[in-house]
Amino acid sequence: MPGRESPDQWIIRGNHHDAWVSGAQDPISGLVAMLEEARSIGRLAETGWQPRRTLVYAAWDAEEPGLLGSTEWAEHHAPDLREKAVLYINTDSNGRGFLSVRGSHTLERFVNQVGRDVTDPKQKITVLQRALVRKLADDPSDALVDSESGLKIAALGSGSDYSPFLKHLGIPSLNLSYSGESSGGSYHSCYDSFDHYSRFGDPDFEYGVTLAKTTGRLTLRAANAEVLPFDFTNLARTVATYVEEIIQLADSMRESTVRLNRNIREGNLKAAANPAQTYVPPAPLSPVPFLNFSPLQNAVAQLQESARLYRKTLDSVLSGQLSNSIREELNRLLMQTERLLTSERASRASLGTPT
């Protein structure tokens, strides 16, 4: 569906349609929510409405054997996608329970805003509030809860159709579902049937509707936003967390290496071994050196300050009126930010293009 003002900025919505067997939950529960979202937008278009940006809907084939359909499409359209893709939203499976979101941390604030506007069909509170209270009830110190910004989305690994978009092309991506109250045991088996899903997965199909309401809001708001809804304070905080984890990992490796070498030197490992079996103690490990993490820490501090200044400046600018030329240039820059987190050489090699 071409955009009325920015047709060369694409919001891509996708999920696969193939399954190992019947695939009622994986992937059809996520696919039907996407189809309902598309149908609703189609009805909206019948009134003469048109999105600011172009909407692209895709149902991928051959995900289960190795993400083949989405990867082939991303390879074929890589030049256009690098230039035009704004956001990719994926919904692989769905059940009932709590909002689960993984994705690009530049979209964390955006996801929280949408989560405040969708009502949980059972508890009649917002899906964001229900996700937060669930995490706090399980563990008050849960790392995915933040007192200021709300729900902290988890990082995306691989394993579904967002992979070629995020990992190779640097397109901000999200994967959403509802889960936590569905029964398990049917994954990738012949028991993943309509009968099982309608009895145990989402019997009233209420959370399928809720997923469509959630992703529909994300899709439409991204498509119609005057300025793309990327925020970098959450990204900077997440990167700072990663740096702290690396520093702690180096310290713990150093301490464990000292302990292991002491046990080898004092003969403790050999004394603890079964005398009826041949035992050869390991060779001592090289000491783990003290590393200088100050360049990383300084870079994180700079990233955090830049993110703070961007949000402050944007809030003040949006209180006025942006000219078309400034808005277009700002959105163009925002579209490219996630691309900067990828290796161009690795990306081109993985997508089969010359390096």
**Which residues have a catalytic role annotated?**
63
Query: Alpha-carbon distance 84 to 265, whole Å?
Result: 61
In a 3-state reduction of DSSP, which class is residue 238? helix
Contacting residues for 270 by C-beta, under 8 A, at least 6 apart: 279, 281
User: In this structure, how many other beta carbons lie within 10 angstroms of the beta carbon of residue 177?
Assistant: 26
Cβ(176)–Cβ(217) below 8 Å: no
In a 3-state reduction of DSSP, which class is residue 102? strand
183 Rama sector, left if φ>0, alpha if ψ -120 to 50, beta otherwise: beta
Query: Alpha-carbon distance 151 to 130, whole Å?
Result: 10
Give CA separation, 331 vs 4, 46, 312, 325, 336, in Å: 16, 28, 17, 10, 9
Smallest CA-to-CA distance from 91 within 174, 172, 187, 166 is with 174
Smallest CA-to-CA distance from 175 within 109, 82, 87 is with 87
Smallest CA-to-CA distance from 86 within 65, 112, 60, 107 is with 107
In a 3-state reduction of DSSP, which class is residue 211? helix
Smallest CA-to-CA distance from 107 within 149, 145, 54, 136 is with 149
Cβ(68)–Cβ(76) below 8 Å: no
